[in-house]
C-alpha cells in the first residue's frame, strides 16, 4: 500500500492571545438634553441637525429684551438707593459733629445711623437683584455644554419655550470618545480582574459580521455586582472613535484581551477527538505516525495550545488523518508553520472550544 499523503505543521512556541467575547451596545460618552431655563420666544436656532458642535458653541438664542429690561430696572434701583445712602451718610456726619457740641440729641444720631445701615442693606439686596437679573439674561443664550453631535431639533424658531417644558430643544451626544457597555459570564470575572490589575486592558469592538474591527479601546469599568438573573457581569470600555465607526445604540461584539501566553501550539485541525480524549498524529523520523494523547489548553484564532504530550519541533498531522492508523507510513505533502495552518482550523477550533 502506498504511503498516505498528509499535511503537517511543526509544533512551535507562539504568542497566543486569550480573549473573552461578549455582546454589548454602544453608548454616547455623555448625552445632554438642551432645555431652556427661562420662558421666551426662540429668536435664533444656530445649529443644524446632526452637526458636530464644540463646548461653548451657540445653539439657541431666546428673546433677551424682557430680561434686559429687568436688569436695567435693577441697576436703576441700586443707583437710586446709592444716592440716598450718600445723602444719609452726609447727614450722619453732620449729626455726629453737632452731637459733639451738644447741638444734636443722641436719639437723632442713632436714628440717622440706622437709616444709613438700612440703606446699605438695601443696596446689598439691589446687588442680589442685579445678579439674578444678569443670570436670567444669561439663560437666554443657550450654548452647548459639551462637544458632540446634535440630534433632531424639537423646537423651531419663533416658538415659545418655557422652563417647565420637559421635551427639551435638542440633544447633544458626545461620540468622540464613545463608550460600549457589554456583558461577560461571571466565570470570566477573575480573569478580567487579573488582567486589569496588570495594566490597561485592551478591547476591540467587532461588527455584526463577526470580522470587521470597528475600534480598539480600553476597559474602564467592571460593574460592582453580578446580574443574578443572567449570571453575567457588566463592563464598560472607552473608544476614541475618531472615525466615528461606533454609533450610539449600535450592537457589537466586544473582544477583551485577558492575557498573552507563550505556549506550544499546533493548528486546531490537528487535534482529534477520541473516546479516550483528545489526541494528535505525530510523524516520526522514519515517516510513520503514532497516535498520541495530548492535553489541550485554550483554543483561539485557529491555534490549539498543547499543555502536554508533544515536544517543540515535532511534526503534527493537520490534514489527511482519516486515512491513518498508528504506525502507518506517510508521505508529507506540505510542512507548514502553525500560524499558516491555523487559518484552516478556525471552524474546528470553535467546535473544540465549545466542548
Q: What is the tens place of the pLDDT at every residue in 272-302? A: 888 888 999 999 988 898 999 999 988 887 8
Per-residue pLDDT in tens (0 to 9) along the chain, 355 residues: 678 888 999 999 989 899 999 999 999 999 999 999 999 999 999 999 999 999 999 999 999 999 999 999 999 999 999 999 999 999 888 878 787 777 767 788 888 889 999 999 999 999 999 999 999 999 999 999 999 999 999 999 999 999 999 889 999 999 999 999 999 999 999 999 999 999 999 999 999 998 899 999 999 999 999 999 999 999 999 999 999 999 999 999 999 999 998 999 999 889 988 888 899 999 998 889 899 999 998 888 788 999 998 999 999 999 888 888 888 898 887 545 445 555 554 444 444 444 4
Rounded to whole angstroms, how far apart are CA atoms 257 and 254? 10
pLDDT score at 102: 75
pLDDT score at 345: 47
Coil, helix or strand at residue 124? helix
Of 219, 215, 216, 226, the residue nearest 196 (C-alpha): 219
Rounded to whole angstroms, how far apart are CA atoms 44 and 158? 8
Cell numbers that stand for 316 in this block: 503534527
Helix (H) / strand (E) containing 83: helix 65-100
Strand order in the sheet with 58-62: 141-143, 58-62, 40-45, 160-161
Coil, helix or strand at residue 118? helix
Place of cell 463646548: 55
pLDDT score at 349: 43
Helix (H) / strand (E) containing 282: strand 277-283
Rounded to whole angstroms, how far apart are CA atoms 40 and 92? 46
pLDDT score at 1: 64
pLDDT score at 79: 96
Distance from the Cα of residue 235 to its chain's centroid: 10
Q: Do the Cβ atoms of 316 and 283 come closer than 8 Å? A: yes
pLDDT score at 351: 44
Contacts of residues 108-114 at CB distance under 8 Å and 24 or more positions apart, as own/partner, are: 112/88
Helix (H) / strand (E) containing 88: helix 65-100
pLDDT score at 324: 85
Rounded to whole angstroms, how far apart are CA atoms 6 and 293? 19
pLDDT score at 105: 78
Place of cell 464644540: 54
* Greatest Cα-to-Cα distance within the chain, rounded to the nearest angstrom: 142
* Ranges of H-type helices in 154-278: 189-198
Rounded to whole angstroms, how far apart are CA atoms 108 and 133? 37
Report CA-CA distances (Å) from 175 to 178, 181, 187, 199, 351: 5, 14, 31, 25, 37
Rounded to whole angstroms, how far apart are CA atoms 236 and 181? 5
Amino acid at each position: 500500500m502506498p504511503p498516505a499523503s498528509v499535511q503537517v505543521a511543526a509544533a512551535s512556541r507562539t504568542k497566543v492571545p486569550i480573549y473573552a467575547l461578549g455582546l454589548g451596545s454602544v453608548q454616547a460618552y455623555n448625552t445632554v438634553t438642551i432645555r431652556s431655563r427661562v420662558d421666551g420666544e426662540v429668536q435664533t436656532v444656530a445649529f443644524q441637525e446632526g452637526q458636530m458642535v464644540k463646548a461653548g458653541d451657540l445653539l439657541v438664542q431666546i428673546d433677551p429684551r424682557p430680561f434686559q429690561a429687568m436688569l436695567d430696572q435693577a441697576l436703576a434701583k441700586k443707583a437710586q438707593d446709592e444716592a440716598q445712602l450718600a445723602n444719609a451718610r452726609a447727614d450722619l456726619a453732620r449729626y455726629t459733629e453737632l452731637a459733639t457740641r451738644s447741638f444734636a440729641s443722641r436719639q437723632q444720631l442713632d436714628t440717622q445711623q440706622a437709616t444709613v445701615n438700612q440703606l446699605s442693606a438695601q443696596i446689598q439686596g439691589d446687588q442680589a437683584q442685579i445678579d439674578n437679573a444678569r443670570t436670567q439674561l444669561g439663560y437666554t443664550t443657550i450654548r452647548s455644554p459639551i462637544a458632540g453631535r446634535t440630534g433632531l431639533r424639537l423646537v423651531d424658531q419663533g416658538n415659545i419655550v418655557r422652563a417647565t417644558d420637559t421635551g427639551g430643544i435638542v440633544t447633544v451626544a458626545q461620540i468622540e470618545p464613545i463608550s460600549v457597555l457589554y456583558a461577560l459570564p461571571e466565570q470570566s470575572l477573575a480573569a478580567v480582574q487579573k488582567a486589569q490589575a496588570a495594566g490597561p486592558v485592551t478591547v476591540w469592538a467587532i461588527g455584526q459580521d463577526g470580522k470587521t474591527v470597528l475600534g480598539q479601546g480600553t476597559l474602564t469599568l467592571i460593574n460592582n455586582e453580578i446580574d443574578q438573573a443572567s449570571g453575567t457581569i457588566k463592563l464598560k470600555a472607552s473608544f476614541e472613535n475618531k472615525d466615528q465607526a461606533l454609533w450610539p445604540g449600535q450592537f457589537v461584539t466586544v473582544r477583551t484581551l485577558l492575557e498573552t501566553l507563550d505556549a506550544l501550539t499546533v493548528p486546531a485541525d490537528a487535534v482529534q477527538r477520541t473516546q479516550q480524549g483528545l489526541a494528535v498524529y505525530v510523524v516520526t523520523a522514519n515517516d510513520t505516525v503514532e497516535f498520541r494523547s495530548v492535553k489541550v489548553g485554550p483554543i483561539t484564532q485557529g491555534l490549539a495550545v498543547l499543555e502536554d504530550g508533544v515536544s517543540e519541533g515535532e511534526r503534527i498531522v493537520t490534514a489527511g488523518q482519516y486515512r491513518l492508523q498508528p504506525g502507518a507510513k506517510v508521505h508529507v505533502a506540505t510542512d507548514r508553520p502553525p500560524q499558516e495552518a491555523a487559518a484552516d482550523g478556525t471552524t474546528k477550533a470553535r467546535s473544540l472550544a465549545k466542548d
